[in-house]
Structure 1
Amino acid sequence: MVHRIIEWSLRNRFIVLMLAAGLFIWGIFCVRSNPVDAIPDLSENQVIVFTEWMGRAPQLVEDQITYPLVTNLQGLPKIKYVRGSSMFGMSFIYVIFEDNTDIYWARERVLERLSTVSRTLPQGVTPQLGPDGTGVGHILWYTLDAPGMDLGEQRAIQDWYVRFALQNVPGVSEIASFGGFQKQYQVTLDPAKLLHYKVAVSDVINAVRSNNNEAGGRKLERSGVGYIIKTSGYLQSREEIANISVKNQAGIAVRVGDIGSVQMTGESRLGIFDQDGKGERVGGIVVMRYGENAAAVIDKVKEKMKEVAKGLPDKVSFDIVYDRGELIRESVQSIRHTLIEEMIVVSLVVLVFLFHWRSALSILIQIPVTIAISFILLNAFGISSNIMSLTGIALAIGVIVDNGIIMSENAYKHLAEKYAARHNSGTATGQDIG
């Protein structure tokens, strides 16, 4: 079979050269379209289910949330196993699917199952899916450089302006905020006053909740114009919360301010984010979607940052603390230099040892053609250009050249022997005639 292929190739050189040229051009297009990253994505094909139940102990979260979710999610198709983790006020479920499963198909199956399981969970508890990213999806970290600005104001800018703007960048799965204070109104009740006015904590909660609402009325037509009537009752200050009536006692309204105090503060934190020992910072983490081109997404995010920076307050700017794009460029540039150096050294060695330019040319042509074909296979199997794959290509150049040298040397040897035998036979015949 091999002899027939070689024989056919020798008799159809033009077709072989055209096929090689076509594969080379196809490979060049694949090089441009192949996703570029610094490290390969070896994470499992997983879907994360996050459930929040604040104020509950880990054992209670395990019994009433984690265990029911784990047992009900185990029957999904193409699933390998389910892992559960419970902590104070939170539950994490990691649903691991087979490697060849489409991640968005898997997320749909998990959502279908959660729609039926949610009825068995405690009231007010709603499981949520995590972002469609991977364990190596953190491609960019940034902070807000805002000297003199309150940390609560910085977090508000990050949560209500920057995060929404960067979330729209194609290829971004999530913008995770960190640092600062998340502003909230806190009502601190006095137990002695609650007992004196005979008011329960649940009465205060219901009063605040019912007064922080908006009610709709009806449509009123006057002079051919329709007016929509509504009442806006959203709370906008501490004074409004303090003036909410909780109970009527002897014709006198008992307000929230009579039984406690209202203050603007931040949510309780378990840690802080300090940058270079110069104080706390507020920022975000850009998480890339599954299977996206890391280098392209980073460039798009940076372009969006330039646009978002125009709307930031004075003296507020972005400070990038981690950029995988630099690592990607340095890694690809290092591998590219290695490939070029190897091709030059191999070319010189082949020319010196064979000392036959046609044989050397046939061997050297194999290097760019083979590298181009390797990128066709990388795209076909969904493998990105990273340190591992590019290093493998660099190491394979020696094997490619070895095969070419062996075949060329073998062919050159046999042709030389046949040429010598034919020349000797022709000389002997001429001597006999003479």
Structure 2
Amino acid sequence: MLQRFVDFALRNRFLVLSLGAVLLVWGAFSFKALPVEAYPDVANNYVQVITQWPGRAAEEVEQQVTIPLEAQMNGLPKLVALRSVSLFGLSSLMMIFDDDSNNDLNRQKVLEKLAQVNLPNNLQPVLGPDFSPVGQIYFYTLKSTNPAYDVMELKALQDWVLIKQLKSVPDVIDVSGFGGTTREYQVQLDPNKLIAYGLGITQVEQALANNNVNAGGSFIEHGGQAINVRAVGLVQNTDDIGLTVLKTQSGTPVRVRDVAYVTQGPKIRLGQLGKAIHREPGRVVDDGDVVGGIVLLRKGANADTLLAALHEKIDFLNHHFLPPGVKIVPHLDRSDLVHYTAHTVLHNLTEGIILVSVILFAFLGNIRGALIVTLTIPFSLLFAAICLNLRQIPANLLSLGALDFGMVVEGAIVMVENIVRNLGHRSHDPRKTVAQKISEAAHEVQRPVFYAITIIITAYLPIFTLQRVEGRLFRPMAWTVAFALAGGLMFSMFLAPVLTSIVFPRGAREWHNPVMSLLVRSYARALAFAI
């Protein structure tokens, strides 16, 4: 069968070259569209359920929240593991699903189960964002040269404005904010005045809650129109809080401002975010109190597409949206790592191609034959890009760095060297054409070439059986190498004989490499001694 395929390729050279050219063009487009990651995503398919119950001890949270949730979630389809953590005021459930499961469907099933759980009043479990640990693709801080925007104002700007804008970018699943102080309205009560007016803290708290609401009424008919009636009672500033009536004493209202001092102030901080940049040895730019955030990528989304849209969005925010003097400053940008990765891989590939070309020319002694063998490298890489793109497997530094040019060009070296050797020998039958000599030379080595490369591909089969983290880490590498070797095999078996028939129309003269002659003689003596 192999012999018929090779003969068919030599009889239909134009067709084979056309198919090769189509694969090269297709591969170029596929390589350009292929997502490139710094490292593979090794995260499990998981769903996290978070429930907050402020002020409750971990024991109560475990008994009344965590255990009922666990009992309800058991039995979910394709559930592999269920883990939970109960802390003071917080319950967290982590459900890990099979790798073959659909994470969107998993989240839908969890939501259906949550609707059936009986929990204490006013408790509402929520699902955590659908991102993976490698989805933290953009770290930023807010920089302000505007005196009106201190750390508290930057925190409010981020919480109420900036996060909503960044979430509008497709595939941004969430934005985690850090740092700064949270503004709150503070009512600082005077105990002596409370005693003098006969009030308690509970009365003040109840009055503030009752007076910070809007109320809806009916409507008033005015001609042919109906005018809606509503009472607006939400507080707008500290003066509104101070005017809240607590009680009436001797016909005089007692207000909040009579017993307390109302102001805006920072909420009690539980931590602080700092930023340090090491520019050169001995110089550190340190800012001990900053406001920043992390943009999270949706699990399974294309990071390159998101980063391009995110950069465009941040440029718009910096120049047309944020207040004067306030800027978003990137701290860690995944695109920088991807660019460095792509540059390193392309640099190594270029050096490898040049090195292989030089060595092939030195040993083959024929520049045309060396160039044909060198073409195996870009062809196999582009063929691998086509297959990876079709299977939607992103490329990464591990998979691209695992490519061994020696294995890729092995079959082409054997094929081209044997063809050049046969063309250089005088045939016993002078009527044989160059095409017939090339066909005979290809038939001599086609089976060894096919089985040698097939055995190498077979050696990667155990990697495809790896599961979970190991499989997600190494399977993309195995697929990349297998596809590249398959492309090299295709080139060696079909394109290499066709190209040699074109570049050697009148045959070739074999060059006897003195280094190879010395190695052959040494090998012959060693073999004779061993036998």
TM range (shorter): 0.7 to 0.9
Instruction: Name 1:211's counterpart in structure 2.
Output: 211
- Which amino acid letter does the alignment assign opposite residue 154 of structure 1? L
Q: Say if 1:47 and 1:107, in contact at 8 Å, map to a contact too.
A: yes
C-alpha separation in 2, matches of 1:247 and 1:21:
89
- Which amino acid letter does the alignment assign opposite residue 183 of structure 2? K
- Which amino acid letter does the alignment assign opposite residue 404 of structure 1? A
C-alpha separation in 1, matches of 2:134 and 2:214:
43
SS at match of 1:175: strand
Instruction: Name 1:295's counterpart in structure 2.
Output: 304
C-alpha separation in 1, matches of 2:260 and 2:63:
35
SS at match of 1:398: helix
SS at match of 2:173: strand
Question: Within the alignment, does 1:57 sit opposite 2:57 as a pair?
Answer: yes
SS at match of 1:134: strand
State the 1:155 CA deviation: 0.8
Identify which range, 199-208 or 229-238, moves more after superposition. 199-208
Instruction: Name 1:380's counterpart in structure 2.
Output: 390
Q: Say if 1:288 and 1:294, in contact at 8 Å, map to a contact too.
A: yes
1:263-282 pair list within 5 angstroms: 263-276=263-276, 277-282=286-291
SS at match of 1:383: coil
Question: Within the alignment, does 1:135 sit opposite 2:133 as a pair?
Answer: yes
C-alpha separation in 1, matches of 2:131 and 2:24:
34
Structure 1 counterpart of 2:404, from 392, 396, 411: 396
State the 1:180 CA deviation: 0.9
Question: Within the alignment, does 1:323 sit opposite 2:330 as a pair?
Answer: no
C-alpha separation in 2, matches of 1:377 and 1:191:
75
1:43-192 pair list within 5 angstroms: 43-117=43-117, 120-147=118-145, 148=147, 149-187=149-187
Identify which range, 209-218 or 4-13, moves more after superposition. 4-13
Aligned CA distance change for structure 1 residues 10 and 223 (closer, same or farther; 3 Å): same
Aligned CA distance change for structure 1 residues 358 and 397 (closer, same or farther; 3 Å): same
Task: Please list every run of 5 or more consecutive structure 2 residues that lacks an aligned counterpart in the other structure.
Answer: 277-285, 433-531
SS at match of 2:214: strand
State the 1:206 CA deviation: 4.0
Which TM-score applies when normalising by structure 1? 0.86
State the 1:401 CA deviation: 0.8
C-alpha separation in 2, matches of 1:266 and 1:155:
11
Instruction: Name 1:23's counterpart in structure 2.
Output: 23
Aligned CA distance change for structure 1 residues 125 and 202 (closer, same or farther; 3 Å): farther
Question: Within the alignment, does 1:307 sit opposite 2:320 as a pair?
Answer: no
Instruction: Name 1:428's counterpart in structure 2.
Output: none
State the 1:132 CA deviation: 1.9
RMSD of the alignment, in Å? 2.9
Aligned CA distance change for structure 1 residues 73 and 361 (closer, same or farther; 3 Å): same
- Which amino acid letter does the alignment assign opposite residue 314 of structure 2? M
C-alpha separation in 1, matches of 2:68 and 2:422:
75
Structure 2 counterpart of 1:355, from 362, 365, 377: 365
State the 1:287 CA deviation: 1.0
* CA displacement 1:146-165 (0-9 Å, x = unmatched): 14432211111111222111
* CA displacement 1:104-138 (0-9 Å, x = unmatched): 12221111111222xx1121111111222111111
C-alpha separation in 1, matches of 2:5 and 2:191:
93
- Which amino acid letter does the alignment assign opposite residue 307 of structure 1? F
* CA displacement 1:228-253 (0-9 Å, x = unmatched): 22111111223433443456678776
State the 1:34 CA deviation: 1.6
**Equivalent residues, number:** 420
C-alpha separation in 2, matches of 1:272 and 1:326:
27
State the 1:145 CA deviation: 1.0
- Which amino acid letter does the alignment assign opposite residue 384 of structure 1? P
C-alpha separation in 2, matches of 1:423 and 1:12:
24
Aligned CA distance change for structure 1 residues 372 and 300 (closer, same or farther; 3 Å): same
State the 1:57 CA deviation: 2.3
SS at match of 1:308: helix
- Which amino acid letter does the alignment assign opposite residue 323 of structure 1? D
State the 1:374 CA deviation: 1.1
Task: Please list every run of 5 or more consecutive structure 1 residues that lacks an aligned counterpart in the other structure.
Answer: 426-434
Q: Say if 1:24 and 1:372, in contact at 8 Å, map to a contact too.
A: yes
SS at match of 2:375: helix
State, as a whole percentage, how many aligned pairs show the same letter.
37
SS at match of 1:284: strand
- Which amino acid letter does the alignment assign opposite residue 411 of structure 2? N
Which TM-score applies when normalising by structure 2? 0.72
Aligned CA distance change for structure 1 residues 269 and 71 (closer, same or farther; 3 Å): farther
SS at match of 1:116: coil
State the 1:333 CA deviation: 0.5
Identify which range, 260-269 or 398-407, moves more after superposition. 260-269
C-alpha separation in 2, matches of 1:403 and 1:158:
59
State the 1:63 CA deviation: 2.3
Instruction: Name 2:518's counterpart in structure 1.
Output: none
Instruction: Name 1:422's counterpart in structure 2.
Output: 429
- Which amino acid letter does the alignment assign opposite residue 294 of structure 2? I
Identify which range, 194-203 or 60-69, moves more after superposition. 194-203
Instruction: Name 1:284's counterpart in structure 2.
Output: 293
C-alpha separation in 2, matches of 1:360 and 1:187:
84
C-alpha separation in 2, matches of 1:230 and 1:259:
30
Q: Say if 1:35 and 1:292, in contact at 8 Å, map to a contact too.
A: no
C-alpha separation in 2, matches of 1:53 and 1:247:
33
C-alpha separation in 1, matches of 2:95 and 2:259:
47
C-alpha separation in 2, matches of 1:94 and 1:200:
43
C-alpha separation in 2, matches of 1:194 and 1:383:
69
Identify which range, 364-373 or 293-302, moves more after superposition. 293-302
State the 1:5 CA deviation: 3.8
- Which amino acid letter does the alignment assign opposite residue 336 of structure 1? L
C-alpha separation in 2, matches of 1:227 and 1:53:
42
Q: Say if 1:172 and 1:297, in contact at 8 Å, map to a contact too.
A: yes
State the 1:281 CA deviation: 0.9
State the 1:172 CA deviation: 1.4
Aligned CA distance change for structure 1 residues 208 and 45 (closer, same or farther; 3 Å): same
C-alpha separation in 2, matches of 1:206 and 1:321:
45
Aligned CA distance change for structure 1 residues 64 and 410 (closer, same or farther; 3 Å): farther
Q: Say if 1:74 and 1:81, in contact at 8 Å, map to a contact too.
A: no
Aligned CA distance change for structure 1 residues 363 and 101 (closer, same or farther; 3 Å): same
